[in-house]
Amino acid sequence: MIGFEGSLWRVGHGREIELGRRSAIMAIINVTPDSFSDGGRFKTVDAAVEHALQAVSDGAAIVDIGGESTRPGAASVSPSEEQARVLPVIEALRGRTQALISIDTYRADTARLAVSAGAHIVNDVSGLQKESGIAELAAATGAGLCIMHTGRDRVKLADVIADQVHFLERSLAIAAAAGVNSDRIVLDPGFGFAKETAEENLELMARFSELSRFGLPLLAGTSRKRFLGAVTGRDAPDRDVATAATSVLLRLQGAAVFRVHNVAINRDALDVADAMLNARQEFERKRPT
């Protein structure tokens, strides 16, 4: 059964999370005014903290705090502005929840300050290929790493999986050179990040199980993405049902972690998928050989 065997993802501050029999949800907490789906709704510390706590109540095991929008064409912010947005949220959450805290950044200095403030995971949308200091930080602190594939600012290979392998092998080499243990790493194929057409994203979904070749847990981040709008005709805030459908489909292909906006609907959908997978596993265990 693809990717269903249990494994431990070891993260910062001596924590770990089991990835296996139950899918793990990472809630998106955008502390920004301009994110593509919910920009501005949670840009104050109090609003972001309450949103994160509600996500945990709804079933998130991880809250992912981001201070800069990564949507196509978004304006970059200074490191100091990014840090001013995210660090107070991380510090406030540290004392109010046992959920794991992730910092969504490609900047090593922001990652360092976030881990010091209480973050357990660094979620790097550049796959360690913009600032390799993030890998060195993870090695030094034991922080977990989400390493994401992106096609931005480079020429991609024509085959969608070949390009994943080409990019992620380089990212994993950077992590290994820095001394990051493999049990600290989760891979994210980066739906929507320079996958410009619905067809490319759908092919990546259809061939997702091929990424099991890396032998590492896989994260699915399809939430409210533009390709779901192309399929359904719905605007970003109305794509949660479509997101839940992709979560189930990708769970059946081996995804272990799901980065989503709407935790409750995805938790229900994934609980059904998990129950079916567990029933199948039990049937296979009992079936005479």
Helix (H, G, I), strand (E, B) or coil at 67: coil
Half-sphere exposure for 182 (CA within 13 Å, toward CB): 9
Transcribe 233-248 into DSSP letters.
Answer: ---GGG-HHHHHHHHH
Q: How far apart are CA 20 and CA 29, in angstroms?
A: 24
**Between the CA atoms of 130, 118, 178 and 140, what dihedral angle is there, to the nearest 10 degrees?**
150
Residues annotated as part of the active site: 225, 259
Backbone phi, psi, residue 245, to 5°: -60, -45
Asked if 137 contacts 145 with a C-beta cutoff of 8 angstroms, the reply is no
Q: Which of 224, 201, 207, 208 is nearest to 256 (CA)?
A: 208
